[in-house]
Chains A and B, each alone.
Chain A
């Protein structure tokens, strides 16, 4: 949720920073050196310091650490002592056997997400909007928001308890209808992607409706009244008022989604990866963990991560640019 909503916030932040300082306070001129500002606002800077230290240490130091993607990092030699090797690791990645598979798996999951997971909250929000019994509407909302707050570990466990071959309820239920041999849905490669999509639907659909419901709540009820006076039925009201009202939100969410095509959700995938489904389960995120942490190839793993990160940045700015070209309000 966090990353999804962010660029909405980015805009005012960027805008305000360009504004002139409050009129009562003097702008710093050359005659007033830096230390005078520091002294004058010492309490504010003091408050800022711990947070700033956090960003420097845990966000910007790792960015410096990305240099090991171009080195053969040996822990003993450290960042600066390790030898530069140029694009060796990237060459290894692009020509190696894993790249095609990782790209395919990552993009296929992204495609499935766009096809099945992206429209779900829109549909549910529109249906909720048509509910005329408020108590029911609120109860449904309360229940479908719940899974958003559960961890991926819990989701993976529930999947296991429901689908596992020995006592999974749903697995047994399907077996009793279809018959034949029992299928191990949790372990088998061909069931990996359907289960991932199912998990995403269960966990995120309800929560995803919030932003659309907020947009729907903002529609002026006079529009509906006017449409009724003009003789528009329920369907035409939906088509000409409700749908246009949430179109900007849909576009914004689509942009955000396409900016995160490469993010497959490490925890979710990792928890569902088994020895039997690794061929379809491996995505960039889990591959980095596997290569880096499990096998200790820090430099190579960093190169893979950097590649993913750079593509991510390009996607975010690209989709934003595209949105602006299409006449939509961009995100930043």
Chain B
């Protein structure tokens, strides 16, 4: 290492290093700056948001906006809905993914190749938005929370990664269990699942983030604004094509300063993701995903 540093001592190399450090630090800062600004804005007064050009710390620290949104039915209901759908959805997705991946990992299973090809084909081609919508409608799932879960119940890509993971588990353990009289179900429940904790943790996070962030499903399948998720509220308040008057009316904010409200709603919708982010990063940094992809 020492030699390397001495070797690079040329002027050009030094200059490059300095510029590189500056550029990458700048990039990292620019990336997170919008988030910090929104966080600061959510604690600022309405007049500060409209008068100060840019700030990362409010002059006067207020929590009005949060107190306000947590006192409205519309927002609290959306928050609880989102939490509930995310929790139930993640469990359903994990169950279906794990149970399907296990038999697909068994190379001796007749019919496995056919099912696997059926799965892979869906990665290349799909029925698309309208036919899927019609299936959901015909199942009577419109305006049902299940419409936010079931159509996305298995991510084929995750399924294949989990399958590859199962394939790499030492066969010896499973064989030993079978000799001891375990049937395949018990092998799966008692041997395979306990060994799969890291991958279960990873994919519960990925699935949960997916549902939490999902905007297309509620847009397609949920009409009743009492069943809106957080993403719908965020969009209605602050997207380019926002219909904020409608929501503001629902939030009964006729007299309430609305700009700070938008900041606070964005913060609440982002915070859980940022909270879990270190775990997310830890898992993909471990190479769980990339490792299995390369296999």
Contacts and interface: CB of A to CB of B under 8 A. Distances in A.
Nearest to B52: A169
Interface in B208-231: 209, 212-216, 219-220, 231
A10 B123 contact: yes
A114 B67 CA distance: 45
B173 interface: no
Contacts of B54: 169, 173
Interface string A183-205: 00011000000000000001000
B128 A146 contact: no
Interface string A40-65: 01011111101110110111111111
Interface string A145-182: 11101111110111111100011010011001000000
B20 A147 contact: no
Interface stretch (A91-99, A136-144, A240-248): A136-144
A10 B120 contact: yes
Contact of A157 (B20, B31, B130, B238): B238
A66 B135 CA distance: 11
B156 to A, nearest CB: 8
A208 interface: no
Contact of B115 (A28, A48, A166): A48
A313 B125 contact: yes
B290 A13 contact: no
Interface in B143-162: 150-151, 153-161
A22 interface: yes
B66 interface: no
A127 interface: yes
What bracket does the count of chain B residues touching chain A fall in? Answer: 35 or more
A206 interface: yes
A292 B120 contact: no
What bracket does the count of chain A residues touching chain B fall in? Answer: 35 or more
B130 A302 contact: yes
Contact of A144 (B28, B277, B293): B28
Contacts of A51: 96-97, 99-101, 154, 159
B8 interface: yes
Majority secondary structure, B binding face = helix
Contacts of B20: 127, 130-131
B246 interface: no
B24 A127 contact: yes
Interface in B102-138: 102-104, 106-113, 115-120, 122-135
B274 interface: yes
Contact of B239 (A5, A153, A228): A153
A57 B96 CA distance: 14
A16 interface: yes
Interface stretch (A100-108, A303-311, A322-330): A303-311
Nearest to A152: B215
Contacts of A130: 16-17, 20
Contacts, number: 319
Majority secondary structure, A binding face = helix
B108 A25 contact: yes
B179 to A, nearest CB: 12
A288 interface: yes
Interface string A6-38: 111110111011110110010010000000010
Contacts of B160: 6, 9-10, 13
B41 A210 contact: no
A128 interface: yes
B127 A59 contact: yes
Contact of A161 (B23, B214, B238, B273): B238
Contacts of B235: 153, 156-157, 271
Interface stretch (B32-40, B73-81, B247-255): B32-40
A77 interface: no
A154 B270 contact: yes
A127 B22 CA distance: 11
A267 interface: yes
Contacts of B133: 292-293
B13 interface: yes
B184 A62 contact: no
A46 B240 contact: no
Interface of A: 2-3, 5-10, 12-14, 16-19, 21-22, 25, 28, 37, 41, 43-48, 50-52, 54-55, 57-66, 68, 124, 127-128, 130-133, 136, 139-140, 142-147, 149-154, 156-162, 166-167, 169, 172-173, 176, 186-187, 202, 206, 210-211, 214, 228, 233-234, 266-267, 270-275, 285, 288-289, 292-293, 298, 301-302, 305-306, 308-309, 312-313, 316
Give 5 closest A-B pairs by Cβ, nearest first: A62-B127, A51-B100, A65-B131, A151-B213, A17-B113
